[in-house]
Amino acid sequence: MKSKILFVALIGALVFFSLDRGALISGYVVNLNSRVVVAYDDAVKFVKDGVNEHFRQREEIKQLRAQNAELEKSAALLSSFAKELNEILVDKNSTAYEPRVQLVRALSYVNISDYDKVWLDKFSGYDESKIYGLIYQGKSAGIVVSKDGNPMALLQNDPKSIFAVSIGEEKIPGIAHGSKDGITVKFIPQWLSPKEGDEVVTSGLDGIFFSGISVGKVTGVIQESLYKSAAVKPYVNITIPSYLYVVTKEK
């Protein structure tokens, strides 16, 4: 009889222990599942937030680039307008003034070893017989000529990049020539005196640029036999161009 009671008690203890351990294990499993679900939800939220932030930043960058391009265009035009308006105050008979620029894409170097010649995408109104001014970040960047019927940029370090400029407050005339060391302004009359530090801007008298586009600053004056020359450090030195502005109407 005692053995039966002991056996029943033992069975009861085992059942109780099993139920208790089962509850513990079940609770542990449920707790683990909850943690996994929470971790998964957190991971999904983190990834979603990261993706959304990436696209938001990319859209902001796109908008800022567009705004920057428009501001560059406005800066170049406003600089020219300011100079021209000063002229109008002196000469009330000046004709209507409406310069225009057009954003163009640089395609590739013309020659791999020459970083001063770049093919450009054809732009609206392109005329093979015309030479165009080239602007980058509101400053002069060179000229555009035709080669094999396509627009080719001669960046202003190229020796064949030539355009008219004026120097300093006295508006000393000269012709800017590109060089590997920068720009040299040639054919300055002997009786005029450009100085180191003078501002150099486009004059617009050659029909390539409109007037008032910043080119650079004089770093030295060279005395020639028939005329003077001025060494100029340009404000722009492009190595890998992407987009530039072409002056499609200089006045």
Predicted confidence (pLDDT) per residue in 86-101, tens digit: 555 455 555 555 678 8
In terms of pLDDT, which residue wins out, 45 or 26? 45
**Domain limit, last residue, from 61, 95, 129:** 95
Q: Would the pLDDT of 151 be above 90? A: yes
- Nearest alpha carbon to residue 141 among 119, 163, 166, 126: 163
Sign of CA dihedral 147, 149, 152, 154: positive
Number of alpha carbons in the 13 Å side-chain half-sphere of residue 218: 25
Same structural domain for residues 9 and 88? yes
| Residue-number span of the structural domain to which 149 is assigned | 98-251
How many domains are contained in the chain? Answer: 2
Same structural domain for residues 50 and 123? no
Q: Which residues have a Cβ under 8 Å from the Cβ of 165 and sit 6 or more positions away? A: 173, 174, 175, 176, 185, 200, 201, 202, 203, 215
Mean pLDDT of all residues in the chain?
78
pLDDT of 9 reads 52
pLDDT of 89 reads 46
Scan for tokens 């004059």, then name that residue: 203
In tens, the pLDDT along 65-87 reads: 665 666 665 555 655 555 555 55
Same structural domain for residues 138 and 199? yes
Tell me the mean pLDDT in the region 8-14: 50
The letter for the amino acid at 162 is I
* Residue 228: band (very low, low, confident or very high) from pLDDT cuts 50, 70, 90: very high
**Domain limit, last residue, from 53, 69, 95:** 95
Q: Is 141 exposed, middle or buried (0-12, 13-18, 19+ CB in 10 A)?
A: buried
Q: Is 208 exposed, middle or buried (0-12, 13-18, 19+ CB in 10 A)?
A: buried
Beta bridge partner(s), residue 214: 139, 201
Regarding pTM above 0.85, the answer is no
In this structure, how many other beta carbons lie within 10 angstroms of the beta carbon of residue 12?
Answer: 10
Is the separation of the CB atoms in 75 and 221 below 8 Å?
no
Same structural domain for residues 118 and 182? yes
pLDDT of 188 reads 97
**Domain limit, last residue, from 43, 66, 95:** 95
Phi then psi for residue 123, to 5 deg, are -115, 165
CATH number of the structural domain spanning residue 114: 2.40.10.350
In terms of pLDDT, which residue wins out, 176 or 32? 176
- Candidate from 17-26, 45-54, 136-145 with smallest mean pLDDT: 17-26
pLDDT of 240 reads 75
Share of the chain above pLDDT 70, in %: 61
* Residue 30: band (very low, low, confident or very high) from pLDDT cuts 50, 70, 90: very low
